[in-house]
Amino acid sequence: IASKVQKCHLQRICRMPQSAGKARIPEKLGPYRVIEEVGVGGLGRVFRGIDERSGRTVAIKVLHDKYVNNRKFLGIFHRELLIMSGLHHKHIVAYLDSCFEPPTCYIVTEFVEGWSGHAFLKKVGKVPPLVALCILIDMLQGIDHLHLHDTVHSDLTAANYLLNKVGRVMVTDFGLSCQLEIEDYKNYMVGTPGYYSPEHITEAPIVTQTDIYCAGLLLFEMIVGQKAVPASTDRRKVLTAMRKIPFNAIQLSDRKMTGMIRKLCKNSLHFNAPKRYQTVEAMMFACYEVLRRFKIRYARHAIKKFLIDKGLSPGPFRGHNQDIYNGLG
């Protein structure tokens, strides 16, 4: 199903919190036994399941029942399936299997024992700035791989990255991903309130710097504990907020760290895409500069120690000692 089918409906694709309601939970999907529902989004529901052939625990994303006869949403789902099947990276949730035989449509991926970024932030509140940078670097590695395939995620939110119990971060949910060779979503309003870039809500095309902007939003949210731009669908209100992001809210006990992280956020959250970091690699380099300055050498160990300290992962910590709380008052 060609991308034109998807673009017919992009004007209305705006992710909003949804509840699972009382929708039926299937007992089985192909060779997969369904155990429980673990998430729901605009396009489908996610279940934890068991592959009865291997005994492996998997995640199964199933197209909402109300869309199984809708060509527009079938096109979107099929396109996500094709994108995921071509991505193989340690910081992208691994594709395993799929079925596209309407009304049966699902995508099977590895099951991540951990949390979405949204659930993680609800548990911990603010994240120490050096740990937040470690999380961001993992995320950016996955996004960089996506960009190498001429694809922009275009919906990078706290709900769309996962953190497992050993501290690995993986990007997920490619339902709104934009393949740059054939589309740019120009003049279409896509994305998630609270995680819009200027391109999402203006006539500008989606570009790789769109993901960089959203990554900056995620970094700001982890460190400050609140969104840089309000979660609103009021275009005028959001555009005004984008031009008045409160960078002074990044206030750390170390003045040097404060300056470096504010600069990093400003360079990723500039309203005009050409003035942001031009590549994910450049943004990662800026993150590494901060980590090196404050002697964080092992990003995964930093994340794992924080998880243990918060009681989210079993201890004791057996890794390199690093001052992951440097900068906190």
Query: What are the catalytic residues?
Result: 155
The DSSP string of 78-103 is HHHHHHHHT---TTBPPEEEEEEETT
What distance in Å separates the CA atoms of residue 177 and residue 80, rounded to the nearest whole number? 7
**Phi and psi, residue 162, nearest 5°:** -120, 145
Measured at the alpha carbon of residue 288, what is the angle toward residues 177 and 163, in degrees to the nearest 5? 50
Q: Which helix (H) or strand (E) holds 169?
A: strand 169-171
What distance in Å separates the CA atoms of residue 71 and residue 44, rounded to the nearest whole number? 15
Can you read off the two tokens belonging to residue 270?
A: 């500039």
CB contact at 8 A, 91 and 170:
yes
